[in-house]
Amino acid sequence: MKTISIDKEKCVHCGLCVSDCVSGCISFDDENFPKMDDENRCIACQHCFSICPTGALSFNNKNPDESQDVNYDDILSLIKSRRSVRQYKDEEISKELMDKLKNMLPFIPTGCNSHSLHFSIVETKSAMDIIRNKVNDLIIKTMSYKALSPIMNKFSRYKDAFLNGEDVIFRGAPHMIVVSSPLTAPCATVDPIIALSYIELYAQHLGLGTCWCGFAQICLKFYPEICEMLEIPSGYKPVYVMLLGVPKVQYKRTPQPENYKISEIKEIKEKDACIFCRIKRLVTNFLR
Ligand SMILES: Cc1cc2nc3c(=O)[nH]c(=O)nc-3n(C[C@H](O)[C@H](O)[C@H](O)COP(=O)(O)O)c2cc1C
């Protein structure tokens, strides 16, 4: 269950929880307090909880006072404070910060130290706008293919927002980084993800905003003309995309995510896997 509750004494009706909700599932009630419209759409990211300037909003009864203040300096606080930023200022990041990010790249580890990544960094707003417009044109063309309508219907919320002129793919970001690797690299699909994880944390430490962008990654798969624009070398696969810019929003507190399942292995109980379990694991591992 996903719920929000509002301390009416503390709420200042600023609407930050509404505007920063990626799923668009919070709106104002008749008394102008935030309310959850559709918990099925909520992805439990707790952006509403983190962004509330007064700690008036509780997500799933979590107490805002039990969160830490956002802090991008020491490494553990940075990890806890990191958020996906989907609202950016309409400005480019400074050359100084861009250089700092670029100078960090050679230190990113790669499998077998292959060191063969390719970074496409869209450094200007004008270049980003050309890509944004091209992708939008291609998506509109794709939407007109009747055969694809069952797939498009799955993304109907995004489709409607897109048709309303919202930048649902690039979130208005002024920059984007695409990391590609040669298909022959020993860890071709893992290295770019490691790289972007380093970039994300360092960028947020520098006061920048980032957002992993699966939607853009799908576009790169389907629209090779965008790969050309991004100067991705032939034989390289664009593995993932990250948006980058100066954040327009400030988060106030860390989220309180649920724990993962952890097997705390202190001693090994040797056990033969039955033939069905073996096959199941082999198939699962192969499919990944
Ligand atoms: C692999 C990956 C792909 C993602 N793709 C998108 C995307 O296309 N658009 C978007 O707005 N957010 C995207 N996100 C952000 C997630 O929605 C976000 O991480 C999640 O809601 C938790 O919020 P947080 O990152 O602020 O903690 C992506 C995140 C990951 C890790």
> Interior CA angle at 206 toward 204 and 208, to 5°?
55
- Does residue 46 sit in the same domain as residue 170? no
And the tokens for 229? 């624009």
Nearest atom within ligand 1 for CA of residue 216: 8
Quick check: is 94 in a domain?
Answer: yes
- Does residue 141 sit in the same domain as residue 219? yes
Cα–Cα distance measured from residue 64 to residue 167, given in angstroms and rounded to the nearest whole number: 31
Q: Rounded mean pLDDT of 260-278? A: 89
- Does residue 97 sit in the same domain as residue 198? yes
The set of protein residues with a Cβ atom below 6 angstroms from ligand 1 is 22, 43, 45, 83-84, 86, 211-215
Quick check: is 119 in a domain?
Answer: yes
Q: Rounded mean pLDDT of 107-128? A: 96
Q: Rounded mean pLDDT of 1-10? A: 96
- Does residue 81 sit in the same domain as residue 215? yes
Query: 155 falls in which pLDDT band (50, 70, 90)?
Result: confident
Whose alpha carbon is nearest atom 9 of ligand 1?
213
- Does residue 83 sit in the same domain as residue 44? no
* Residue 154 pLDDT exceeds 80: no
Nearest atom within ligand 1 for CA of residue 217: 8
- Does residue 169 sit in the same domain as residue 130? yes
Residue 283's pLDDT is 87
Residue 288's pLDDT is 63
The gap between the terminal CA atoms of the chain, to the nearest Å, is 30
- Does residue 17 sit in the same domain as residue 79? no
Please name which of 152, 147, 155, 137 lies closest in space to residue 226, comparing C-alpha atoms.
137
Cα–Cα distance measured from residue 28 to residue 6, given in angstroms and rounded to the nearest whole number: 11
- Does residue 131 sit in the same domain as residue 169? yes
- Does residue 62 sit in the same domain as residue 164? no
Which CATH number goes with the domain that contains 53?
Answer: 3.30.70.20
- Does residue 40 sit in the same domain as residue 8? yes
- Does residue 86 sit in the same domain as residue 199? yes
C-alpha of residue 9 to centroid of ligand 1, in Å:
32
The domain of 43 spans 4-66
* Residue 153 pLDDT exceeds 80: no
**H/E stretch holding 96:** helix 95-104
The amino acid present at 245, given as its one-letter code, is G
Query: 156 falls in which pLDDT band (50, 70, 90)?
Result: confident
Last residue of a domain, one of 229, 245, 261: 245
Per-residue three-class SS string for 187-215: CCCCHHHHHHHHHHHHHHHCCCEEEECHH
What pLDDT, in 10s, does the model give residues 203-249? 999 999 999 999 999 999 999 999 999 999 999 999 999 999 999 99
Quick check: is 261 in a domain?
Answer: no
What pLDDT, in 10s, does the model give residues 62-102? 999 999 999 999 999 999 999 999 999 999 999 999 999 99
Quick check: is 259 in a domain?
Answer: no
C-alpha of residue 109 to centroid of ligand 1, in Å:
23
Which CATH number goes with the domain that contains 191?
Answer: 3.40.109.10
Whose alpha carbon is nearest atom 30 of ligand 1?
212
Last residue of a domain, one of 66, 99, 115: 66
Quick check: is 277 in a domain?
Answer: no
Whose alpha carbon is nearest atom 2 of ligand 1?
212
User: What is the count of structural domains for the chain?
Assistant: 2
**Residues near 136 by beta carbon (within 8 Å), at least 6 away in sequence:** 162, 169
- pTM for the whole thing? 0.90
Quick check: is 271 in a domain?
Answer: no
Q: Do 133 and 195 form a contact (C-beta atoms < 8 A)?
A: no
- Does residue 10 sit in the same domain as residue 150? no
